[in-house]
Amino acid sequence: MRLFIQREQAESENRVAATPTTVKRFVEWGWEVTVEPGAGIRAGFPDELFADDGATLSGKVSDADIVLRAGIPTPEEVTDYSAGTTVIGFFDPYVNADLMRACEDAGLTIVALEAIPRTTLAQSMDALSSQATVGGYAAVLLAAEQSPKFLPMLVTAAGTIPPARVLILGVGVAGLQAIATARRLGALVQAYDVRPETREQVESLGARFVEAPTTETDAAGYAQAVDDDIQARQFAALAPHVKEADLIITTAQIPGRPAPLLITDAMVATMKPGSIIVDMAAGSGGNVEPSKADETVVTNHVTILGPTNLASTVAADASNMLARNMLTVLERARAEDGSVAFAEDTEVLGPATVIVNGSAAHPRTRTLLGYPEEAGA
């Protein structure tokens, strides 16, 4: 089996999909591992570390059976792969129609990490969660860096400085890590999620759960969409907490769907001058009405940041976690005879194999491309 580790072309992408440790495992399996020169340098893994663990350094991807990559490719990038190649990574497979069509045209098999089921069996392969952990941590540090305030309370000869008030909206993996990080930095933390079962998680981290409308979750564990009445009551309940906050981190996202609106223009207008908002959902429409993806917006003296790849800012550990996810995916796909099977694994990898040999297979990807949900229908 010939495995290729891609060097990401985007300047904003510092991660790598394999580390010297995971490369060593692949080599032990008897696989031929090729690492594109410079693939790991921005994550702190120079070429010689990969070479020391048995990898060949080369930029030739056309001979690969399997390609691992950390960032979402452009439609132009996938034309470099040979037909029949399996590419594992992030693809935005429910939204990015141009990329999915390009993958079909190139005759590829695509294993999209976003489509890994959120089950106990698949936890070790859940790259969305591992990278969200990094993102939640990085979001708090970004907000703290931008804020004109201390986060902890300080008692000094020059007087007592009260702790910053931090509000976390969305208590998934990223939100929980944001709560924990803000608490470690000494802030007073409040948090809200539309799912009522998150209250216990919030309180276990020492934060206060904000009382606001809640709703049920779907089969995948994501919150169901709220109607206009619930949303209006949600805005009313959150408004006083938004007004009091010094820093706000919003994390509410559902893969393949627009992010729910949690903070309106009017709510931002009530915030104190110098307040900071980091909208982690800016790339999918945003939880904050004025936010823009990968831009900084200043309105009413409030700074709103819309980063879309916070995990890349902590590239070493984000890469370590992603590489372990990739390793576990390939461990599950690998048979005793050395072959690999993805689409045939109905429990975990099959649902994530959104394109098979150039044909869209996942129902949501098929719908995106204008096909019937089921092949042959």
Enumerate the active-site residues: 118, 123, 126, 129, 222
Instruction: State the Cα–Cα distance between residues 20 and 47, nearest whole angstrom.
Output: 9
- Interstrand relation of 359-360 and 32-35 (parallel, antiparallel or unpaired): unpaired
Backbone phi, psi, residue 130, to 5°: -65, -40
Task: Identify whether the C-beta of residue 207 lies closer than 8 Å to the C-beta of residue 188.
Answer: no
Number of other residues whose CB lies within 10 A of the CB of residue 152: 13
Number of other residues whose CB lies within 10 A of the CB of residue 162: 12
User: CA-CA-CA-CA torsion for 31, 37, 43, 44, nearest 10 degrees?
Assistant: 100
Helix (H, G, I), strand (E, B) or coil at 146: helix
User: CA-CA-CA-CA torsion for 273, 278, 283, 284, nearest 10 degrees?
Assistant: -90
For the chain, the distance separating the N- and C-terminal CA atoms, rounded to the nearest angstrom, is: 35
Helix (H, G, I), strand (E, B) or coil at 176: helix
| 20, HSE (Cβ side, Cα atoms, 13 Å) | 15
- 61 Cβ neighbours under 8 A, 6+ residues apart: 4, 6, 34, 36, 67, 80, 81
| Helix H or strand E encompassing 236 | helix 228-244
Altogether, the residues listed in the chain come to a count of: 377
Backbone phi, psi, residue 280, to 5°: -70, -10
Task: Identify whether the C-beta of residue 259 lies closer than 8 Å to the C-beta of residue 252.
Answer: yes
